[in-house]
Amino acid sequence: MKSREAKQSWLGMGEEIMVGMTEWRQQNSKATFREIEEELDRRLSELRARMLADLAISSASTEWKKGLGAPVCPNCGVVLEPKGKKKRTLQTRGGRGVELERESGICPRCGQGIFPPG
């Protein structure tokens, strides 16, 4: 997703959250401060997860470099062999699953598979 598209998506989700919270509050007029906070956090966690995924995928380290700057094995320092894109699901602190598709590699010396950070 391109930066401009991501920002538009985030803005749209933010607007949905504001409208949704206003409607929720009208339907839950006796909700306590804590209940309002929990509902807001639940909704914001969706936006947060989307932003995390979009920002992680936009990182320069999502593309496999060759030669100087190529990823190396953290165990033995050998340049990794690219193994194509793989999907990985990570958990946010808010408990949401975020699926990332990124290049992965394997160490030709020790066989450790790597899903690069970034």
What is the pLDDT tens value at each position of the chain, 118 positions in all?
578 888 999 999 999 999 999 999 999 999 999 999 999 999 999 999 999 888 887 765 556 666 667 788 888 888 888 888 888 888 888 788 888 887 888 889 998 887 765 4
Encoding tokens for residue 110? 């020790």
33 and 77 part of one domain: no
117 and 73 part of one domain: yes
Q: Are 43 and 17 in contact (CB under 8 A)?
A: yes
24 and 71 part of one domain: no
The pTM of the full predicted model, rounded to 2 decimals, is 0.66
1 and 51 part of one domain: yes
Query: Domain end: 38, 58, 78, which one?
Result: 58
- Helix or strand (DSSP H, E) at 91: strand 81-91
Q: Which domain holds residue 28?
A: 1-58
Pair type for strands 113-114 and 97-106:
antiparallel
**Which residues, at least 6 apart from 118, have a Cβ–Cβ distance to it below 8 Å?**
56, 59, 60, 61, 62
Beta bridge partners of 105: 82, 114
